Chains A and B, each alone.
Chain A
């Protein structure tokens, strides 16, 4: 069997998982659990105990109100990636040990793999998708990373960029050591830390020019 035939076998419209999820989101409906991810008996049908949390909720993500159906034990990273299609937030370790899933909650960096979506009801969530301004102008940190070629494989980049953005917004004129301290909750397995810190310094500079 050739490669082409294998791909055809996957379905009538040859949809990738990513396209499928984004399609569901584009339809504008309340996004519900998609069966491919939340498998296992009883998960979808689990009843709700009296006094337990209400599953339907409105999240404020990147300035938008998003209506979403969230399981009581669902992490924010799961909701962002698999319910809201915001796949810029990466899941590395899923154990608060790598930082790839870093997002801002009310402007403060958190590991989205290690908090429940129900814990952030009513708070401002900002993911990497919400960093550029509405007119498409890059955030100074994004521009700095482009200027310096900050990452090699860049799987960790969204997490690093979110940590960096929260820091430089609050700390104008920070030096390299302070940036390193602020980024100490993110890991880069390519070991590109020097270029990442070059980017951070450049971001401080760009931030200063903007002010």
Chain B
């Protein structure tokens, strides 16, 4: 679009100092409120006039939402912790390197300095029809432009379509699933804890949301259990260029092997479905097997079973298959 839109349209800005104050504001403004974390995605929506909230609730002043602390043998990460801090914090790098690597591969240094783990996890899809303001299903309309006969859908999904074919773009999301993390969601009636793999939802559950969070909900902490600390990790993000870009397919895995045999495994892939997928079947197929290339090939074959590519994205199948293979083979 050649239209220059240089100002965010008028709205109110609130900078609460506590979770309670933030929740009150979200309840007060309901659907007209907008939760602001790093803001890197939010401001684009506002400048493009596609999202027009009445009240922005900036979480930057809430201390309890920031920081990384030990919790038993695991970690609790505040959702407002910057991606740079997640990528460089010694406890994360040393014991949960998978998450550090995922955070380090997000976008650019400036974006990681400001972007938050919570914002990266809860981010909206990049489908360009949706982003362009087209009235698609996800935007409350009644058509999917990305699956129309002549649609450009090279970056869309091969699994999990349900009217909408957009994908989840988060780099850190598959890492949280592989690490068996939990998301704590708080609203004015209390706290709910979700396993990472249940936190992300597809269009079959709610076509207008990427996560379980509804207006009035806040992600208040991310818990990483000690279960997978120091396991063998593999993370690979494939994108068109090595900086700034969103993922085409990303794999994140945590494996424990002993004596050349895989004892336990968690594998997650993003960029192929409207939510980060956990590959249960592939995991079951590798547990108890030799950590070998053959096992990797078998897991890759299982991983792409039942995939339904669109017109321009069949390339994601061999990509995904080989990434799963590498994730398993990396343990040899």
Contacts and interface: CB of A to CB of B under 8 A. Distances in A.
Interface of A: 37-38, 40, 42-43, 46, 48-49, 51-53, 71-75, 78, 91, 94-97, 99, 102, 108-111, 113-116, 118-119, 163, 181-182, 184-185
Given A115-B39, A118-B58, A184-B109, A42 B44 contact: no
A182 B14 contact: no
B39 A109 contact: no
B10 A184 contact: no
A43 B11 CA distance: 9
A53 B113 contact: no
Nearest to B47: A94
The prevalent SS among residues of B at the interface is mixed
Contacts of B297: none
Nearest to A53: B13
Contact of A96 (B8, B44, B55, B58): B44
24 contacts: A38-B7, A48-B12, A73-B9, A73-B11, A73-B13, A73-B56, A75-B8, A91-B6, A94-B47, A95-B43, A96-B40, A96-B43, A96-B44, A96-B110, A99-B108, A99-B110, A109-B110, A110-B110, A114-B43, A116-B39, A118-B58, A163-B109, A163-B110, A185-B107
A46 B10 contact: yes
B111 interface: yes
A185 B109 contact: yes
Nearest to B112: A185
Interface of B: 5-15, 25, 39-40, 43-44, 46-47, 55-56, 58, 60, 84, 107-111, 113-114, 242-244
Given A73-B56, A75-B8, A96-B44, A118 B110 contact: no
Residue in A75, A78, A114, A184 whose Cβ sees the most chain B Cβ within 10 Å: A114
A43 B10 contact: yes
Contact of A109 (B10, B14, B109): B109
A116 B7 CA distance: 11
B44 A49 contact: no
B110 A102 contact: yes
Given A43-B7, A73-B13, 5 more contacts: A72-B11, A114-B44, A116-B58, A118-B15, A184-B242
Contacts of A46: 10
A38 B13 CA distance: 18
Contacts of B13: 52-53, 72-73, 116, 118
A111 B47 contact: no
Nearest to B29: A49
A53 B14 contact: yes
A111 B111 CA distance: 8
Nearest to A99: B110
Contacts of B9: 73
Which 10 A/B pairs are nearest by Cβ-Cβ distance? A185-B108, A72-B13, A184-B243, A73-B8, A185-B110, A49-B12, A46-B10, A52-B12, A185-B109, A53-B13
B114 to A, nearest CB: 5
Nearest to A111: B110
Nearest to A41: B10
B7 A114 contact: no
A185 B40 contact: no
A48 B55 CA distance: 11
Residue in A37, A48, A102, A185 whose Cβ sees the most chain B Cβ within 10 Å: A185
A114 B14 contact: no
Given A73-B46, A96-B40, A78 B7 contact: yes
Contacts of A96: 40, 43-44, 110-111
Contacts of B56: 72-73
Nearest to B107: A185
A51 B84 CA distance: 31
A90 B132 CA distance: 25
Contacts of B5: 94
B47 A185 contact: no
A73 B110 contact: no
Contacts of B47: 94-95
A46 B244 CA distance: 36
A94 B6 CA distance: 7
A49 B56 CA distance: 12
Contact of B60 (A108, A111, A113, A119): A119
B40 to A, nearest CB: 5
A78 B55 CA distance: 20
A173 to B, nearest CB: 19
A185 B58 contact: no
Contacts of A118: 13, 15, 58
Nearest to A42: B10
